Structure 1
Amino acid sequence: MARILLIEDDPNSANIVTRIMKRRGHEVIHAGEGLTGLNIVSREKVDLVLLDLGLPDIGGHTIAALINRIPGDIPIIAVTANDDPIVERRALTYGCDGYITKPINTRTFPDQIEAFLAAADGGEETEQEEKHDQSNPTEA
């Protein structure tokens, strides 16, 4: 089970995403504004952030950049209605690890999120294995 922070100002979108991910056994924490989400991610353990880019208080790109300053290498997935390739590149430049357009496909969305979670988890295991290998060298 992962702890997912959903930063989304649209209640309908938030309800859909929350319901889908809870069915997969994940805990979803919802923040309706960017600054609220930033506050949550700075004080609580979160495994993944789903970030709407069009927030009323502060732009999602800015929130992504600020989250990336927090220790812990938390994956951020932009979930937005804007399918402009320029906006997507900008999101990735500002620190988002993925980009999903709305309206989400309720059949494929959970698998997309699971893939991001697995990739993030695999990266942590790889780093831990590297540390273990460095501290316990084997003889050839």
Structure 2
Amino acid sequence: MTTILVVDDEPSIVTLIKYNLEQNNFNVVSTGDGQTVIDLVEEHQPDLIILDLMLPGVDGMTLTKQLRQKHNSVPIIMLTAMDTESDKVNGLDNGADDYLSKPFQVRELLARVKAVLRRNTKARKKVTKNGHNPLSDEATMVSIHLHNLQIDLLQQKVYQNQTMLNLTPKEYDLLAYMMQHAGRTLDRSEMAKGAWGIELSGLDTRMVDMHLSNLRDKIETNPKDPMLIKTVRGFGYRFSQEESK
């Protein structure tokens, strides 16, 4: 059974979420104390975390960073009463997979839970018995070599000149998607949908620009004159194509 960890210091919110998740056949573990989250994650190995941003002890943003620093890629839906664009961008940039503002409709929360779990099953490159990688165009593709980059789709790791890079989950997913579509010009909405499984439009697509800027800082020799991730003015971006080594 799929296990979901619910972290919120408001008992009424926890009760509401827990009841509805259990009605949809999820196993639920809950806590209102941010300081217990890391231990609960290690003990229960949840498939997803619903995490309130404002918590006593340790806030949700800090917990997300701590989990990602431990290379734990469990999907996280962040809950918050704050609803500014910068809050959402900060949450996603620090490793959250989705963001839901309070107050929320239970139906929307359940839809997001199912969508994130579905994305995670596909996008986290779980290889089936026949060796098929859902994000790969070919069943046998388990790694990609382009330029001085190697991406391991099984271990979800990226190496540059044999040195492992420290990428956030969002950066990894974006780079993996672009490298699998190297040579193609991709618009921002397509990249968000393909890499993260989310629909973005209008100003929200700036989230893609922000993550790509961070990614360039990590993989480009000169981020101001990028050779790997090219900007295609008026349209989007293209990962420079090169024959695999």
Alignment TM class, shorter chain as reference = 0.7 to 0.9
The match for 2:140 is 133
Q: Percent identity?
A: 25
The match for 1:94 is 94
Write out per-residue CA displacement over residues 73-110 of structure 1, whole angstroms, 9 at most, x where no aligned residue. 10111011111211111111111111011112022221
Residue correspondences, number: 134
Whether the 8 Å CA contact 1:42–1:70 is kept in 2: the answer is no
The match for 1:138 is none
Q: Say which structure, 1 or 2, has more relative contact order (CA 8 Å, 6+ apart).
A: 1
CA distance in 1, matches of 2:70, 2:16: 28
After TM superposition, list the pairs within 5 Å mapping 1:49-60 onto structure 2: 49-60=49-60
Whether the 8 Å CA contact 1:4–1:48 is kept in 2: the answer is yes
Write out per-residue CA displacement over residues 13-39 of structure 1, whole angstroms, 9 at most, x where no aligned residue. 101111111111001100111111121
- Structure with greater Cα Rg: 2
The match for 2:48 is 48
Give RMSD over aligned pairs. 1.8
Q: Which one has a larger percent helix, Structure 1 or Structure 2?
A: 1
Aligned partner of 1:99: which letter? Y
The match for 2:75 is 75
After TM superposition, list the pairs within 5 Å mapping 1:10-25 onto structure 2: 10-25=10-25
The match for 1:119 is 119
Normalising by structure 1, we get a TM-score of 0.87
| 1:99 alignment partner, SS class | strand
Aligned partner of 1:39: which letter? D
Gaps of 5+ in 2: 143-245
Q: Which is worse superposed, 29-38 or 47-56? A: 29-38
Whether the 8 Å CA contact 1:34–1:60 is kept in 2: the answer is yes
Q: Which is worse superposed, 104-113 or 52-61? A: 104-113
Whether the 8 Å CA contact 1:41–1:67 is kept in 2: the answer is no
The match for 1:85 is 85
